[in-house]
């Protein structure tokens, strides 16, 4: 047999994509399944963004671009980071990649040696631990349960740091919980990190614009300016502009780290898609009010789903600050149904209620489920009714 590399054994396929596949399979077999597993907005990409892509094709922008992104897109990203975040970056402090996901993988590949530790607050986005393992790092998970609104404390952060810690992940607003850190909370985490100059922060801001708190969005570089030269801000157009398929993300951070990430990208995938880059310029420079109706819909669905969940036996759901996810505690329901764990709960829900959701353990916190409300209100109403019938 052909040998497979050890690194393949270290990682597992994405469980969220697995749920989507399972739901599709059951649908194909004739079952009526409502998918609440999706990790992407259900809206179409705005017209002016599509038009920019079509124009780029017609203008012949169909060739290789600079590895780290076109000058026009880098300029639009610089302007965005200044406008929304008050952060200044030079062009050589920015790298455009094929999605925020590639930015994060480039980052870990650029800074980790074998055995280096990466702090990952749980519940976490499913890919962080596997990306770390793929790049020879060791994930160090901090548990942040519902009682602390799924956010780590400065004390927990300090306790997790060792002399092998190289990277700390922060994701606010969070996939899977929808919780966002306040600026003051980030500043308090920053106070701890200031004591450890070898640590780099990976700030995953991909849900920045899907936020409904009174306080505006903040990341750790904004909350703690002294940490800016040790923070890599990662963001993209996928979630904000409903552009998941276009595959454009970007990283902004210290020049030396960005240059290393660029070097890796130059020997792996080269530049991201030229047409998608042109579309992303239109997204970032264009009318920002296109996000308004999407945000409004997500908030309305959030309110509906959280209320409906809290009306079910054995389910307890805290409100989210943003994103299109909530992360109910279903421990009571698991017990009442005589099930083993949250994986069995998800199985039960897809089989008995025809509702596909992702078990919390996929995100590092058992006894929960992630519900995505990136689907129509009609689907959500039907899904909540069916779940309630099964749970009482």
**Interface positions with ligand PLP (CB under 6 A):** 39, 99-101, 125, 171, 175, 204, 206, 236, 238, 244, 249
Cβ atoms of 360 and 370 within 8 Å: the answer is yes
User: Per-residue b/e over 310-345, b at no fewer than 16 CB within 10 Å?
Assistant: eebebbebbebbbbbbbbbbbbebbeebebeebbeb
| Rounded Cα distance, 372 and 378, in Å | 14
| Rounded Cα distance, 360 and 3, in Å | 33
| Rounded Cα distance, 315 and 349, in Å | 13
Least distance between ligand PLP and beta carbon 210 (Å): 11
CA nearest 126: which of 354, 345, 327?
327
Strands 358-359 and 355-356: what pairing?
unpaired
* Nearest residue (CB) to ligand PLP, 221 versus 333: 221
* Nearest residue (CB) to ligand PLP, 39 versus 69: 39
Separate counts of helices (H) and strands (E) for the chain: 15, 12
**How far is CA 147 from each of CA 121, 131, 317, 334, 366, rounded to the nearest angstrom?**
15, 28, 11, 19, 14
* Nearest residue (CB) to ligand PLP, 95 versus 391: 95
CA nearest 96: which of 234, 214, 268, 303?
234
* Nearest residue (CB) to ligand PLP, 101 versus 228: 101
> Cβ–Cβ contacts within 10 Å for residue 83, how many?
11
* Nearest residue (CB) to ligand PLP, 212 versus 250: 250
Least distance between ligand PLP and beta carbon 171 (Å): 5
* Nearest residue (CB) to ligand PLP, 326 versus 337: 326
* Nearest residue (CB) to ligand PLP, 199 versus 358: 358
* Nearest residue (CB) to ligand PLP, 65 versus 334: 65
| 120: three-class secondary structure by DSSP | strand
CA nearest 118: which of 162, 79, 158?
162
User: Which value, to the nearest 10 degrees, does the dihedral of the CA atoms of residues 272, 243, 324, 359 take?
Assistant: -50
Cβ atoms of 356 and 37 within 8 Å: the answer is yes
Least distance between ligand PLP and beta carbon 231 (Å): 16
| Rounded Cα distance, 228 and 221, in Å | 5
Least distance between ligand PLP and beta carbon 101 (Å): 3
* Nearest residue (CB) to ligand PLP, 262 versus 348: 262
Least distance between ligand PLP and beta carbon 157 (Å): 19
């Amino acid at each position: 047999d052909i040998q497979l590399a050890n690194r393949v054994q270290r990682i597992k396929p994405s469980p969220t994509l697995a749920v989507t596949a399972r739901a599709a399979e059951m649908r194909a077999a004739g079952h009526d399944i409502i998918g609440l597993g999706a990790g992407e907005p259900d809206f179409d990409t705005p017209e002016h963004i599509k038009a920019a892509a079509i124009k780029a094709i017609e203008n012949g922008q169909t060739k290789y671009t600079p590895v780290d992104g076109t000058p026009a897109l880098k300029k639009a990203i610089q302007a965005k980071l200044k406008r929304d975040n008050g952060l200044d970056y030079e062009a050589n402090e920015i790298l455009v990649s094929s999605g925020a996901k590639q930015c994060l993988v480039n980052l870990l590949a650029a800074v980790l040696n074998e055995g280096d530790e990466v702090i990952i607050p749980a519940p976490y986005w499913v890919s962080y631990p596997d990306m770390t393992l793929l790049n020879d790092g060791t994930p160090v998970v901090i548990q942040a349960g519902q009682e602390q609104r799924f956010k780590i404390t400065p004390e927990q952060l300090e306790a997790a740091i060792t002399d092998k810690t190289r990277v700390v992940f922060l994701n606010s607003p969070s996939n899977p919980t929808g919780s966002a850190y306040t600026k003051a909370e980030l500043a308090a985490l920053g106070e701890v990190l200031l004591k450890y100059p070898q640590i780099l922060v990976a700030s995953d801001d991909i849900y920045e614009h899907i936020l409904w708190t009174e306080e505006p969005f903040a990341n750790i570089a904004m909350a703690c300016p002294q940490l800016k030269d040790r923070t890599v801000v990662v963001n993209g157009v996928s979630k904000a502009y409903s552009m998941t398929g276009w595959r454009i993300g970007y990283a902004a951070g210290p020049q030396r780290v960005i240059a290393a990430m660029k070097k890796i990208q130059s020997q792996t995938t080269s530049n991201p898609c030229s047409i998608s880059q042109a579309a992303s310029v239109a997204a970032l420079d264009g009318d920002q009010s296109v996000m308004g109706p999407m945000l409004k819909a997500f908030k309305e669905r959030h309110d509906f789903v959280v209320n409906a969940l809290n009306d079910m036996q054995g389910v307890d759901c805290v409100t989210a600050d943003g994103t299109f996810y909530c992360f109910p505690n279903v421990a009571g329901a698991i017990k009442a149904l005589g099930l083993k764990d949250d994986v069995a709960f998800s199985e039960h829900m897809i089989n008995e209620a025809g509702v596909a959701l992702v078990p919390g353990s996929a995100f590092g916190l058992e006894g929960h489920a992630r519900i995505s409300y990136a689907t129509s209100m009609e689907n959500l109403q039907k899904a909540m009714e069916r779940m309630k019938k099964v749970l009482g």
